[in-house]
Amino acid sequence: MSEKAVKTTVSEKLDRNALAELVARDIAPGSFVNLGIGQPTLVSNYLKPEQQVTLHTENGMLGMGPEAHGDEIDGDLINAGKIPVTELPGASYFHHADSFAIMRGGHLDVCVLGAFQVSATGDLANWHTGAPDAIPAVGGAMDLATGAKDVYVMMSLFTREGVSKLVAECSYPLTGVGCVTRVYTNEAVFLLKEDGVHVRETYGISFEELAAKVDVPLIGPSAGTD
């Protein structure tokens, strides 16, 4: 696949905020969405009112707005990551069990989660590294991975040691099997399809460089992407 077949949008890899803005733009208008703890919470800051996206947080709220700052902060109004948030007109609150019923019942169009690893076939590992001293923290991730219609992952593509988190097979305990449809990273956007891993676009890296660093076969956009 030639380098020209892949769109390189900027000269450098994306930072966390630019990546969150990209994810926000890709969420379809009218969607019901859950944003996971960590990087995904930043997506709420970049959703446009005209998108009419309704955000769900697993601690019991629909209609969550962007992060709260200054005088906006209400100590009783937080998301699942304990970050102060705002509420949008029509916001509603409910029991934790009802919140999980929304997640498990297939009512969410998209969830955006972080990850330790994602496999080429869409398996997700994001709750435990398997290390003896690690504290398992699955939260509602399994419910979201199973219940949401689409699972988007936001993560850095490489570990601090330079090892790809996009892998042929996850070595960490799984959160969900075959559930991830897209992976947003600071160096590329990947679409996980039945015929393989498609690279939609790259950031500050050529397709050839990316393919050499990621140990799974990659397919360029000329083969078709959404």
Residues tagged active-site = 58
Strand ranges for the chain from DSSP E: 7-8, 32-35, 54-57, 61-67, 85-93, 110-113, 117-119, 124-125, 150-154, 166-167, 180-184, 188-193, 196-202, 218-219
Q: What is the pTM of this model?
A: 0.90
CB atoms under 10 Å from CB of 81, counted, come to: 16
User: Hey, which residues does 119 pair with through a beta bridge?
Assistant: 167
CA angle 31, 186, 37 (to 5 degrees): 50
Tens digit of pLDDT for each residue in 16-71?
999 999 999 999 999 999 999 889 999 999 999 999 999 999 999 999 999 999 99
Find, among 47, 49, 42, 115, the residue nearest to 79 by Cα.
Answer: 42
Q: Which pLDDT belongs to residue 198?
A: 97
- Mean pLDDT for 167-180 is 96
Confidence of residue 6 (pLDDT cuts 50, 70, 90): low
**CA-to-CA separations, 148 to 67, 110, 203, in angstroms, rounded:** 23, 6, 28
Q: Within 51-187, where are the H helices?
A: 96-104, 141-147
Strands 196-202 and 124-125, by their bridges, are unpaired
Residue keyed to tokens 């969420």: 27
Model confidence at 9, pLDDT cuts 50, 70, 90, reads: low
> What pLDDT is recorded for position 131?
76
Give pLDDT tens digits for 190-211: 999 999 999 999 999 999 999 9
Q: Are 145 and 103 in contact (CB under 8 A)?
A: no
* Residue 226 clears pLDDT 60, i.e. is over it: no
How confident is the model over 141-156, as pLDDT tens digits?
A: 999 999 999 999 999 9
pLDDT in tens, 79-118: 988 999 999 999 999 999 999 999 999 999 999 999 999 9
Place of tokens 């601690």: 59
**pLDDT for res 11:** 66
Q: Which of 7-11, 81-85, 128-132, 168-172 has the highest mean pLDDT?
A: 168-172
- Quick check: 210 and 43 in contact, CB under 8 A? no
* Residue 140 and residue 188 in contact, taking contact as beta carbons nearer than 8 Å: no
Which residue shows structure tokens 């050839």?
A: 208
